[in-house]
Chain A
Amino acid sequence: GAGVSQSPSNKVTEKGKDVELRCDPISGHTALYWYRQRLGQGLEFLIYFQGNSAPDKSGLPSDRFSAERTGESVSTLTIQRTQQEDSAVYLCASSLVAGGLSGAQYFGPGTRLLVL
């Protein structure tokens, strides 16, 4: 079946602009995660959603970052007033349940964000 999809695949924006990144999880997966990967670095957790529970926002680096999820489907990550240090690959992942029996997370191809 279809994997996790993300759009756009690449985004170039000017400092100070807002951007929206989209993630479509695997159908039936109730948990959805956003991570950020700076060049040559590991993944940095941002936020995750589990079903209808309140999202875990503990990884969001500032109040310029926010995310929403419609039911158990699409999620949007919004970065307001972008800064150059926001440049990174933003990866979305989904799993059947958060921290479930296996908890294996399946990653999308990512959105490469470049802030000029």
Chain B
Amino acid sequence: AQRVTQPEKLLSVFKGAPVELKCNYSYSGSPELFWYVQYSRQRLQLLLRHISRESIKGFTADLNKGETSFHLKKPFAQEEDSAMYYCALRGGGAQKLVFGQGTRLTINP
């Protein structure tokens, strides 16, 4: 079975501080992992995916197969990073995604 776990429902950090949103997954094959973000009053959108190994808006995420994790990190948080973040998994060649519960990130000034 495919499962994504985001242990923190809420995360609050101060502007300029490092931020890490945790994501663990369960999947027997080789998964594709994604981070989606939903800013206030906007639709859900792709932030980054592990295949691209890219940095978007200062965020990075590394797939750790040993720990089955895909944590999202940013060294210096900005107020505009406040949003709902979802970790998602795609496996078995299917296009559908399995989402985690989401973490609401609040950046305090």
> Do the two shown chains form a genuine complex with each other?
no
